[in-house]
């Protein structure tokens, strides 16, 4: 698969499939099986960057970032080319010390037809479900918050693709991305995470970023104002 197509959207959509970038990339399958050190290291790094002493805040932000990468590397090529990489956890390698696009490396060039059912199997079931379990092993985050992150990440990937398609006059890309996202959101774990299920998505839970010393509200935040500053809507 042509890596440059999705990478043209942004580095967040890029996925290395050639020789791996220098680093300590490990198959995500090992993380899901209980190898916790990479995730612990990532949460530690995020906590330091955000200058937060609340581990659950750093864990949520770390989870949101990886969920965004996973949706993006599937939905991007799917919308652009009609196929997406085989993202099997044993083939997809992650280095928690690196940022996009060097954090992920795929050691196979196999690709799959871009249907919502295939993407759901590859991302939601194969990655997001065991990733949520791994995050919860590190600390107490609610299931609603983690699925809210997943919904926010999916909507964010869609928003980037629609913006790219508008700029490059590719309504076909926008149409495919919207159709795939609509089907992906039509699942019990994602359906109630926020609405509408398009680039205007607003989530119904909070990722906790506002609790960082310099944190504010995300673009799709459930709150109208930062809690404590004025009256704000409460997350469901």
CB 181 within 8 A of CB 75: yes
CB 161 within 8 A of CB 173: yes
pLDDT at 134 over 90: yes
pLDDT at 156 over 60: yes
* pLDDT, tens digit (0-9, with 9 covering 90-100), for 87-118: 999 999 999 999 888 899 999 889 999 999 99
* pLDDT, tens digit (0-9, with 9 covering 90-100), for 207-235: 999 999 988 999 999 998 888 654 444 44
* pLDDT, tens digit (0-9, with 9 covering 90-100), for 35-52: 999 999 999 999 999 999
- How high is the pLDDT of residue 1? 53
């Amino acid at each position: 698969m042509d890596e440059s197509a999705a990478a043209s959207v942004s580095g967040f959509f890029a996925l290395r499939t050639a020789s791996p970038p220098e680093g300590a990339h490990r198959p995500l399958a090992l993380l899901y099986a209980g190898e916790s050190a990479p995730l612990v290291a990532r949460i530690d790094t995020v906590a330091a960057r955000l200058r937060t002493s609340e581990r659950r805040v750093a864990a949520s932000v770390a989870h949101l970032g990886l969920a965004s990468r996973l949706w993006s590397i599937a939905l991007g090529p799917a919308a652009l080319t009609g196929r997406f990489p085989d993202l099997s956890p044993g083939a997809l390698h992650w280095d928690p010390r690196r940022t996009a696009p060097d954090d992920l490396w795929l050691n196979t060039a196999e690709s799959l037809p871009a249907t919502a059912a295939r993407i759901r199997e590859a991302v939601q079931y194969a990655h997001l479900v065991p990733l949520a379990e791994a995050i919860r092993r590190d600390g107490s985050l609610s299931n609603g918050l983690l699925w809210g992150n997943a919904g926010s990440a999916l909507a964010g990937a869609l928003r980037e693709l629609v913006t790219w398609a508008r700029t490059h006059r590719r309504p076909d890309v926008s149409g495919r991305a919207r159709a795939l996202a609509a089907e992906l959101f039509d699942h019990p774990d994602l359906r109630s995470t926020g609405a509408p299920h398009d680039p205007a998505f607003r989530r119904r839970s909070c990722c906790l970023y506002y609790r960082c010393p310099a944190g504010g509200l995300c673009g799709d935040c459930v709150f109208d104002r930062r809690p404590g500053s004025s009256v704000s809507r409460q997350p469901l």
